[in-house]
Amino acid sequence: MKPKLFCIYCGGRLGEEFLEGKMRQVCCGCKQIAYENPLPVVSIMVANDRREILLVKREREPSKNMWCFPIGFAESGESIQEAALRELKEEAGIEGKILEIVDVGSEANEMYGELLIVTFEAEKIGGVEAAGDDACDVGYFPATNLPRLAFSSQDRALGKFIELKRDIWSMKDSFERFVETSIIEQQPGKGLLSDALIDVFQANASAIIELWISEISSNPSTKAYHHFPREELFLRGEDILGQLRAWLNGDDTEKELKAFYMKLGKRRMREGVGLEDLISSLSLLKKHIFRFATSRGVWSRAVDMYRVLELGERLVYFFDRAAYYAVTGYLEDS
């Protein structure tokens, strides 16, 4: 950046003095310090529902013909947020709403000197995408596969943006897989966020079964099980958890799930276990699986809370089917 030669206040020639800890330009006449402050720059990121980010192609230097987020200098008389939305409208043709700050950083520029760059995330609320101002093209590109960006500050902001969205995107992906497989296709979901909690209860099956046995051996809703040998109840708990593991891992189909619980229901009827006791015992096992799996960590992030909720939904779905088939088998034999 070219050094200043004259004072902007009196027109006097500028000299140099060591002031406030560094060499500074100072007017030889009025002694006013010619401070060199960084110029404020706004950069704005807009993403669509397909996780694509809006970019504009620069029509002039610096970085002519390279892609970037809409970017420009903030002007006097406007807030930094207003400057960002103005640049979005001027360069990309759309109106936006500020969501959050993604990044704030400084960098040196040969043409303009020190820059203070504030990058915002915004959502589109109106307008039609069209190149304008100093842009010659506009388009959306996948967030994880953008063309080379014109400015290093935007590379840094992109990395932070992807990190900010990682949990949200993971939850959305997991939810869509869960709906598609478990609800629409009626098959166990695979590759879901709650798989981590399923691993927890699988690794601690014995502890869960012991908790379950202690409850059904004393709970008024499962009187039929109060006098069963503990060893027998443990084997039964192992059978059910084993079948649950197989179903969640995709090793068992709906047909196999049905066959298992139809047979279980018939066996309980022949043993003289009341239908209400059978249903309650399944419900209590579901409760202990959920409690144990969700007690194995600190749920401080949104994605951790989602794992808990998703596991609950998967258990509800599984045990609803299990209870239905068990009752069907029970009634068939009665």
Q: What digits encode the pLDDT tens for the residues 140-177?
A: 999 999 999 999 999 999 999 999 999 999 999 998 88
Amino acid making up residue 75 = E
DSSP 224: G
Kindly state the average pLDDT of the residues 295-311: 80
Query: What are the structural domains, with CATH classification, of the chain?
Result: 1-36 (2.20.70), 39-166 (3.90.79.10), 186-333 (1.10.490.70)
Rounded distance, CA 293 to CA 196, Å?
A: 9
Rounded distance, CA 2 to CA 73, Å?
A: 19
pLDDT of residue 93: 96
Amino acid making up residue 125 = I
Measuring CA to CA, which residue among 296, 318, 320 is closest to residue 307?
A: 296
Examine the pLDDT at 298 and tell me if it is beyond 60: no
Rounded distance, CA 330 to CA 261, Å?
A: 9
What does pLDDT average to over the chain? 90
Amino acid making up residue 61 = E
Examine the pLDDT at 279 and tell me if it is beyond 60: yes
> Using CA of residue 228, residue 225, residue 278, residue 275, what is the dihedral sign?
positive
DSSP 78: S
Beta strand 39-46 pairing with 113-127: parallel
Beta strand 71-73 pairing with 39-46: antiparallel
Measuring CA to CA, which residue among 104, 92, 100, 90 is closest to residue 42?
A: 104
Examine the pLDDT at 200 and tell me if it is beyond 70: yes
pLDDT of residue 56: 97
Residues with Cβ within 8 Å of residue 173, at least 6 apart in sequence: none
> Using CA of residue 284, residue 289, residue 292, residue 295, what is the dihedral sign?
negative
Amino acid making up residue 144 = T
What's the whole-model pTM score?
0.74
Strand, helix or coil for residue 133: coil
Amino acid making up residue 3 = P
The percentage of residues in the chain with a pLDDT greater than 70, rounded to a whole number, is 95
pLDDT of residue 185: 62
Kindly state the average pLDDT of the residues 204-214: 94
Rounded distance, CA 23 to CA 103, Å?
A: 30
Examine the pLDDT at 190 and tell me if it is beyond 90: no
Measuring CA to CA, which residue among 152, 163, 164 is closest to residue 71?
A: 152
Rounded distance, CA 152 to CA 136, Å?
A: 21
Measuring CA to CA, which residue among 151, 196, 184, 306 is closest to residue 254?
A: 184
Rounded distance, CA 227 to CA 220, Å?
A: 13
